[in-house]
């Protein structure tokens, strides 16, 4: 358990945790648990998990007394919480045992809060944060040090804004959204109209809406709509250093890994998986449940069909990518063979013409 990021967990028993997870407890249900850890770093009061036979030795040798595991992977001498998906149960247990530490408590004396701003019960604002006019902050939401919340923004209940998050004017955030340090939400999109060497800025007067239970990584940037709305759906998880441009629509439960860039007016469906460093050009459409592998490049206007997995640049179905990549890997060998064939052809004497 990392004390820098997690609150000190309350002591629980294996029996209490079993009831919380709705699973079978085998062994001493009175074993006390305070936190979670890897097998090597765990103390007696830490919880570990086991989901593959190759890790059985690590779990057996751990100091942890309690293990979340599969029915087919008993660990001798340990109290077992038996579940069908140990990693999932471990994540749920971690959230229950060790809730994240507070970002802010109360209203710090150095915070600057406009008179017209509304803070619901339990909302907290850290040092040197700025809350502008007509902002609404929901119950129990925590706004960290040096955050800026622009005029007319609305933040739901139970949100967590880590230090130095910036919300431009009018951003709307649903309940239980987490925004990590350095994220900038609602900046102008990159839209210009050119004439005779001058770039005229196209209006960036739309909004940004982020729905409930989403998480935005550190230094991510999500632009407001130009004339419409940029929308991030519920339970979307966006990694660090991701850029989402104006008018983009992201469906529920989609995952976007680090350094991905999504250009303007693209639509990403629900339950989409996007790997690291993927580039999505403007006006693309990624349908529900599709997967874009790391560093895939999706050109302007392209549609990735529902459930399809693509890779490469330009992105193509993964089976085709693998076949082409295998040939690509053989190019040095094939090139040498061609050189030898050409050399042999040049060394052969010319065939004399046939005489009458």
Task: List active site positions.
Answer: 246
Q: pLDDT: is 230 or 319 the higher one?
A: 230
pLDDT higher at 128 or 351: 128
Q: Is 331 exposed, middle or buried (0-12, 13-18, 19+ CB in 10 A)?
A: exposed
**What pairing do the DSSP bridges indicate for beta strands 184-187 and 154-155?**
unpaired
Q: Mean pLDDT throughout 315-326?
A: 89
Distances (CA, A) of 17 to 82, 132, 332: 11, 43, 58
- Per-residue pLDDT tens for 263-281? 999 999 999 999 999 999 9
Mean local confidence (pLDDT), 281-292: 98
pLDDT confidence tier of residue 259, bands split at 50, 70 and 90: very high
What percent of the chain has a predicted confidence (pLDDT) above 70? 94
pLDDT of residue 329: 86
Confidence category of residue 350, pLDDT binned at 50, 70, 90: low
Mean pLDDT of 51-59: 96
User: What digits encode the pLDDT tens for the residues 139-181?
Assistant: 999 999 999 999 999 999 999 999 999 999 999 999 999 999 9
Query: Regarding beta strands 32-33 and 12-13, do their DSSP bridges make them parallel or antiparallel, or are they unpaired?
Result: antiparallel
Q: Is the pTM of this model over 0.85?
A: yes
pLDDT digits (tens, 9 = 90+) for 17-43: 999 999 999 999 999 999 999 999 999
* pLDDT score of 4 more than 50: no
Average pLDDT, the chain: 93
The answer to whether the beta carbons of residues 66 and 33 sit under 8 Å apart is yes
Domains, the chain, ranges and CATH? 12-97 (3.40.1390.10), 112-318 (2.160.10.10)
pLDDT band at 1 (very low <50, low <70, confident <90, very high): very low
The predicted structure's pLDDT at residue 355? 60
Please report the pLDDT score of residue 325 as a whole number. 84
**2 confidence band (pLDDT: 50, 70, 90):** very low
Confidence class of residue 328 from pLDDT cuts 50, 70 and 90?
Answer: confident
In the numeric block, the tokens 């907290």 are attached to 124
Range 91-120 burial, b when 16+ CB lie within 10 A, else e: ebbbebbbeeeebbeebbeebebeeebebe
What's the confidence (pLDDT) of residue 348?
64
Rounded to an integer, what distance in angstroms lies between the CA atom of residue 179 and that of residue 171? 13
Percent of the chain residues past pLDDT 90, beyond the cut: 85
Pair 99, 105: CB distance under 8 Å = no
pLDDT per residue as tens digits for the range 89-118: 999 999 999 889 999 999 999 999 999 999
Higher pLDDT residue, 336 or 284?
Answer: 284
Contact 242, 261 (CB under 8 A): yes
């Amino acid at each position: 358990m990392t004390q820098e990021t997690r609150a000190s967990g309350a002591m629980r028993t294996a029996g209490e945790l079993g009831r919380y997870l709705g699973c079978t407890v085998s062994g001493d249900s009175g074993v006390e648990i305070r936190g979670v850890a890897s097998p090597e770093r765990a103390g007696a009061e830490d919880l570990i998990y086991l989901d593959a036979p190759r890790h059985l030795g690590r779990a057996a040798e751990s100091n942890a007394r309690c293990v979340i595991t599969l029915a087919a992977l008993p660990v001798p001498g340990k109290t077992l919480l038996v579940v069908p998906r140990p990693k999932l149960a471990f994540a749920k247990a971690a959230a229950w045992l060790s809730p994240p530490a507070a970002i802010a408590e109360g209203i710090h004396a150095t915070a600057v809060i406009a008179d017209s701003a509304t803070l619901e019960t339990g909302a907290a604002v850290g040092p040197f944060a700025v809350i502008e006019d007509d902002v609404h902050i929901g119950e129990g939401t925590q706004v960290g040090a040096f955050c800026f919340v622009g005029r007319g923004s609305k933040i739901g209940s139970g949100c967590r804004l880590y230090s130095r998050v910036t919300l431009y004017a009018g951003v709307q955030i649903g309940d239980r959204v987490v925004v990590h340090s350095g994220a900038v939400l609602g900046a102008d999109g990159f839209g210009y109209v050119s004439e005779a060497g001058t770039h005229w800025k196209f209006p960036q007067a739309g909004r940004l809406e982020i729905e409930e239970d989403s998480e935005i990584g550190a230094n991510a940037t999500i632009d407001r709509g130009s004339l419409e709305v940029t929308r991030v759906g519920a339970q979307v998880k966006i990694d660090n250093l991701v850029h989402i441009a104006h008018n983009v629509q992201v469906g529920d439960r989609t995952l976007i890994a680090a350094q991905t860039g999504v250009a303007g007016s693209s639509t990403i469906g629900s339950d989409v998986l996007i790997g690291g460093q993927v580039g999505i050009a403007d006006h693309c459409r990624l349908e529900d449940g599709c997967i874009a592998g790391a560093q895939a490049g999706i050109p302007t206007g392209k549609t990735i069909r529902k459930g399809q997995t693509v890779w490469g640049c330009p992105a193509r179905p993964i089976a085709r990518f693998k076949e082409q990549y295998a040939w690509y890997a053989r190019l040095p060998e094939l090139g040498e063979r061609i050189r030898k064939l050409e050399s042999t052809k040049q060394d052969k004497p010319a065939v004399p013409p046939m005489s009458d």
